[in-house]
Homo-oligomer: A and B are copies of this chain.
């Protein structure tokens, strides 16, 4: 739900046919997100199907098939540009999901899952930082992308720290009253079979 719109923008910006759109995309994003050319063509077809884009008939003498935006396409592009992207409250994050599942079930000690993930995230952070250090000659887009990655991983680490704290407090609280922190909540299933 994004490459789609990027292609509209690149079309509006002067690119015309599939292969060209692919390299325009690489240039614009500093090749941050490798994209398969095939995807460009399928996306273009879908856009054509949806009336956002049109190619007049057959490929030209050079074997190229130039597309252009339709009015609807320009409208869709304008809407993408104007409408900020919102973080949905139900936003799916794999790390959160894994941690929450670990906390809720008995399949593994939640604390271990968290600390494993934390170690991995720290390593990732270091590798990204190293890349940033040597990226002064790289295109701006690539540098910005690296900045985004660093900030994202940092926020993941912060969250993992926070989870560790919360888990620690929950544990110490419950050892004073309840003895089974990680056991099944018994809130699902086991409802009077028959």
Q: Mark A84-119, 1 if CB is under 8 A from B, else 0.
A: 111101111111111111111111100001001101
CB under 8 Å from chain B, chain A span 157-194? 158-159, 162-163, 166, 170, 184-185, 187-189, 193-194
Q: How far is the CA of A108 from the CA of B80 in the complex (A)?
A: 11
Does A9 touch B at the CB level, under 8 Å?
yes
Contact A189 B14 (CB under 8 A): yes
Does A13 touch B at the CB level, under 8 Å?
yes
Closest to A61 in B: B194
Q: Which residues of B contact A86 (CB under 8 A)?
A: 120, 124
Contact B23 A189 (CB under 8 A): yes
Q: Mark A68-82, 1 if CB is under 8 A from B, else 0.
A: 000000000100111
A147 interface neighbour in B13, B97, B108, B159, Cβ under 8 Å: B159
Copies in the complex: 2
Q: Which residues of B contact A55 (CB under 8 A)?
A: none
Contacts A89-B128, A147-B159 known; 9 new A-B pairs at CB < 8 A? A5-B98, A12-B107, A23-B188, A24-B189, A26-B188, A27-B104, A33-B97, A84-B121, A87-B121
Contact A152 B149 (CB under 8 A): no
Q: Which residues of B contact A24 (CB under 8 A)?
A: 188-189
Closest to A84 in B: B120
Q: Which residues of B contact A149 (CB under 8 A)?
A: 87, 89, 91
Closest to A109 in B: B81
Contact B152 A87 (CB under 8 A): yes
Contact B9 A101 (CB under 8 A): yes
Q: Which residues of B contact A14 (CB under 8 A)?
A: 184, 189
Does A46 touch B at the CB level, under 8 Å?
no
Q: Mark A2-29, 1 if CB is under 8 A from B, else 0.
A: 1101100110111110001001101111
